Structure 1
């Protein structure tokens, strides 16, 4: 662990690192160690267990005790709140100038926090700073570059149809977050993308085109879990829908979501949602997740989803290719290059 000087008790840390955990006991140590080893010392780490049913909380306590780092503030929710309410609760607990997000099980380059603080100090009008990242497949152990932005600035139109960087790579300016409000709790997924839209309406962000964030996809995460894919893709299209509305229109749509449900509100977006579900199904097969791909096919039949014709062909081919001894890296790249 990198040595550091503990700030005076009355001093507000310049950075708050927010890191949520739920049923991730096996990946506590690597993320905690990555945070502790940051070259930038003036931070507090707010890390919580969202009422896990495994040994996550015990492992968090064990690792925190072994680190003996006063900058770590770990706590446990008495009931499962969910990701978005948990982030909002953590935001209310800090007065730091900058807010950095780290996903459970992920790692940061040792200079990540230092470089992002410097970038935001150089650009005092920037609302947040994102970086390039990599993602590692937990089964094949293949690591691939996972960003699609290469300019020094990020503006609203850069994220209009997809988000080219991951939530965990972002450091927010706290004053910008406070100005637009907290994360929208109607979102189970994609609350980060919705937040980016809201922030980029007020200004631009900065981007560091270097890999400072190392993400590990979880085997039961949204990338591989068919049931979660349905919720995530619906949330994606809700974020896009809201991005084109003014405040009154946004409030009206969110009220409808709460009263009538997301699927009712997204009726007009069904063709795009079904296309994205089909793309996810193709990816599962290409990446060798035959069981998950079959589970998703069963789910779409039960929900009355109709895949576009070309994707039914893609699925048939992908199912065959996924059984061949082909490079996992090649398959991942092929899956990510699928036409829309």
Structure 2
């Protein structure tokens, strides 16, 4: 009987399949069986590729589906039924496992019998970027973070087969976010961790538009988990509040108080039920609030952040009032400065806002009534932003905007105000352009 059963579902993956299969066959740890489940209507020749490996390596076993419910969850459950190993290792047909992955996971699991599931760090390989993702390692923090999001990368996992099966833990074949839902249940039966080392390349974004849909499914799992673990009153909060957890809403201003109440409600419910360690939950709630504020209004520099995070072990809701008050004060100051610039807008005819982020959007919307006809567009040094349309106005490069001969530029970038000011003043076409900062009046 092998130590590991590797389960990999396949659906029309002929372009990636060989690389993925060989990354498993080339593992430094070799005591495994490789169960590859080919979907019912996988018709691009993937089955033939799998058969060719089955003929040359007796660890490879093709499971060709001919009936039953289609989908990843169903294929995974079928593969696990065939599995005989002590551990189940996941693999996806378009990913790449590093050669030492199994060796390091087995060593860790054997040394730590209290760990039920072990994932790893991974690298996202996308058409436009490669990004290393470092995931949480502490079991208690992982369990608590599941309140808000999945912190286990599905194709990196290795788990104890019998512990899952003996507790009735299988994939829900009607749930698209099958991994997140299963982890939310399984973490109540054993500890989860991640090895803090990149051991898999995760291919993302090639010819697929699944990510937005998957986020919606994950939000529903998140809500069900809150209900089950904390008897959370889901109906008490608008749908946007749950979307913020997955950073799916841009305009958060109107939800500041609601999101604060949402996080406070979580803390209160946990105090009653003692499901999660209070100090860990308080720290994570503080992080959620911090992320929310930065996502909504990233220019706000609140000096209480560091002190707040240090003190959060004393409880989340008690510490938040000063920060919330500080945010409102900063917004009020910004609005006051913005209103003083309204007179300058009125006497201009060709205006650009330098910075198409949160500050610029706030400024534009506060004065949309007079900016709509005067504003030629946005300027942004971020190449990825150039050419996009924000609030109905196009984003230009600095040089292209200057060719339009503007008579005023309003800087909406707190981190680089001085740098942008110098960039404008040093440009030979800008000698007569009025330059103003949205955050201060002394340029």
Fold equivalence (TM over 0.5): yes
Measured against aligned partners, the alpha-carbon deviations of 1:51-96 in whole angstroms (never above 9, x if no partner) come to 213222223333444xx11000012222561011111111111121
- What is the CA-CA distance between 1:175 and the residue it aligns to? 2.0
For residues 117-136 of structure 1, the aligned pairs below 5 Å read 117-136=106-125
The number of equivalent residue pairs is: 265
1:183 to 166, 171, 180: 171
Aligned counterpart, 2:27: 38
Instruction: Tell me how far apart the structure 1 counterparts of residues 51 and 60 of structure 2 sit (CA, whole Å).
Output: 11
Aligned counterpart, 2:186: 199
Aligned counterpart, 1:242: 224
Instruction: Tell me how far apart the structure 2 counterparts of residues 277 and 177 of structure 1 sit (CA, whole Å).
Output: 28
Aligned counterpart, 2:349: none
2:79 matches 1:110: no
Aligned counterpart, 1:321: 385
Paired residues of 2:135 and 2:152 also in contact (CA < 8 A) = yes
1:62 to 52, 55, 76: 52
Instruction: Tell me how far apart the structure 1 counterparts of residues 245 and 207 of structure 2 sit (CA, whole Å).
Output: 19
Measured against aligned partners, the alpha-carbon deviations of 1:226-259 in whole angstroms (never above 9, x if no partner) come to xx34531232122212223449x9xxxxxxxxxx
RMSD: 3.6
Instruction: Tell me how far apart the structure 1 counterparts of residues 79 and 236 of structure 2 sit (CA, whole Å).
Output: 34
Aligned counterpart, 1:298: none
1:162 to 149, 153, 175: 149
Aligned counterpart, 2:18: 29
Residue 109 and residue 234 in structure 1: after superposition, are their counterparts in 2 closer, same or farther (change >3 A)? same
Q: Which runs of 5+ in 2 are unaligned?
A: 252-294, 298-355, 362-377, 389-395, 398-443
Tell me which of the two structures has the higher relative contact order, counting C-alpha pairs closer than 8 angstroms and 6 or more residues apart.
1
Instruction: Tell me how far apart the structure 1 counterparts of residues 53 and 25 of structure 2 sit (CA, whole Å).
Output: 11
Measured against aligned partners, the alpha-carbon deviations of 1:113-172 in whole angstroms (never above 9, x if no partner) come to 1111111111112110111100101x23x3111233254776410332122331011101
Paired residues of 1:120 and 1:206 also in contact (CA < 8 A) = no
Residue 200 and residue 281 in structure 1: after superposition, are their counterparts in 2 closer, same or farther (change >3 A)? same
Work out which of the two has the higher radius of gyration on C-alpha atoms and give 1 or 2. Answer: 2
Paired residues of 2:21 and 2:93 also in contact (CA < 8 A) = no
Instruction: Tell me how far apart the structure 1 counterparts of residues 81 and 227 of structure 2 sit (CA, whole Å).
Output: 27
Instruction: Tell me how far apart the structure 1 counterparts of residues 206 and 250 of structure 2 sit (CA, whole Å).
Output: 16
Aligned counterpart, 1:271: 240
- What is the CA-CA distance between 1:270 and the residue it aligns to? 2.6
Aligned counterpart, 1:99: 88
TM-score normalised over the length of structure 2: 0.53
Aligned counterpart, 1:299: none
Paired residues of 1:147 and 1:166 also in contact (CA < 8 A) = no
TM-score normalised over the length of structure 1: 0.67
Q: Which runs of 5+ in 1 are unaligned?
A: 1-11, 250-264, 283-307, 327-340
Measured against aligned partners, the alpha-carbon deviations of 1:167-196 in whole angstroms (never above 9, x if no partner) come to 0111011122111421112211x2111111
